Every structure is written in C-alpha cells, then in structure tokens.
Amino acid sequence: MAVRVKICGLRRAGEVAAAVGAGAAWVGFVFHPRSPRAVTPAEAGALARGVPAGVERVALTVDAADDDIDAILAAVPVDLLQLHGAESPARVAAIRARTGLPVMKAVGIAGPEDLARAADSAGVADRLLLDARPPPGAALPGGNGLAFDWRLIAGRRWPLPWMLAGGLTAGNLAEAVARTGASAVDVSSGVERTPGVKDEGRIAAFLAAAARAG
C-alpha cells in the first residue's frame, strides 16, 4: 500500500492542484504569521473550497487562541486541525471538544525524552505528527527542513494514527519509511523551490516516491 502524503504550507491554487493531482491525501494551510507559508483565513478559504471530496483539508495553528481558531473555521472548510505549538494535552482536548473537529498534535522529537510527550498527546489527540524538534532559537516550530534520528521511533507503536515529518524529500523517503514504519508522511520544505514557494515537479516526485515506498 502506498504511503499516504500530506502536502503542507500551500499558498497558491496551482500548488493545491498539483498536490491533489499527484495524489495527496491531505492538503495543509498554515495560519502562523511568522511562517513564510502563512495564509489568511480568506485566502485559505478560497483555496480549500476547490479541494475535491476525499482529500482532507488541514488547518495548522501554533498556540492559537480560541478567537483565532474561530476566525479560521468561519472562513475555511476544515477537516482536521493540526496543533503545532506547545499545546498541553488539556488544551488539545479542549480544542477538540470545543470545535468538534479531529485534532492532530505535532510533537517535536530530538531525543528519547520527547517520546513521553508523544505518549501524553496520544491520549487526547486523534492523530500524532512526529516532527523534528526545532533547534534552539529557531523562528518556526516546523518546516525547517530538518530530520530527527529515525532510530528513536523504530519499532514504536502508538494507539492512534500518526504521521512522520521533518526533512523529508523524494530522495530520503524510502529510507525514512523503512526505518520508522510510517504509513503517512507530511512534507513542506522538501517540495519547495524557496521557502513558501512549492515546486510542482518536486510535489509529483515526492508522491511518486511515496507510492514506491509503501
């Protein structure tokens, strides 16, 4: 079975069309103002309404307040909320209950100590995203093009679906899947020409690599 792919940080209609056309299972829109991939709710709404049935639309927020989440949901048809900040398990549960939407919690991994945080989030989220923990002083919590040591999660199992993220490209995807057993992956910088600008050829190559890696 092919590895399922989320393409994150989409900002243009052509990028969304390329992701959908290549077979992405999820398309992600970033609502973190400091990110070069950030979009407004109005911009994302226009993009998301053109996504066909069967492809899930993901809203990525970072430690967002309730009012900010409400503004996104008022403008964007969202299928999955991705929480990519320092949200506690209690906050994850509260957002899930308040919005009625499934929630994916991103957890930064750099060492064995981070696996406990993943386990804590597994008790309240609908899905986990295991990403590379950003280096000290990094401006962004994700999308930094960095991979973590995949051996840290080799053979690990969680009681809910999960995705692998961090430094993935068409060139290393097969190794990442073989080492981790991931059945779903998330990519952003690995399919870009420059930060915030997706490359349609790289999107196609990544999806083709995912089809081979399953």
The one catalytic residue among 70, 126, 131, 149: 131
Contact by Cβ (8 Å): 58, 104:
yes
Active site residue 131: yes
The larger pLDDT score, comparing residue 17 to residue 135, is at 17
List, in order of start, the domains of the chain with CATH numbers.
4-198+208-213 (3.20.20.70)
Active-site annotation holds for 68: no
Task: Name the CA radius of gyration of the chain, rounded.
Answer: 16
Among residues 8, 114, 120, 149, the one annotated as catalytic is: 8
pLDDT > 90: what percent of the chain? 83
Distance CA(42)–CA(119), nearest Å, equals 35
List C-alpha distances in Å: 49 to 46, 58, 60, 78.
6, 12, 17, 10
Query: pLDDT tens for residues 11-47?
Result: 999 999 999 999 999 999 999 999 999 999 999 999 9
For 23, residues 6+ apart whose C-beta sits below 8 A from its C-beta are: 2, 5, 207, 210, 211
| pTM for the full predicted model | 0.93
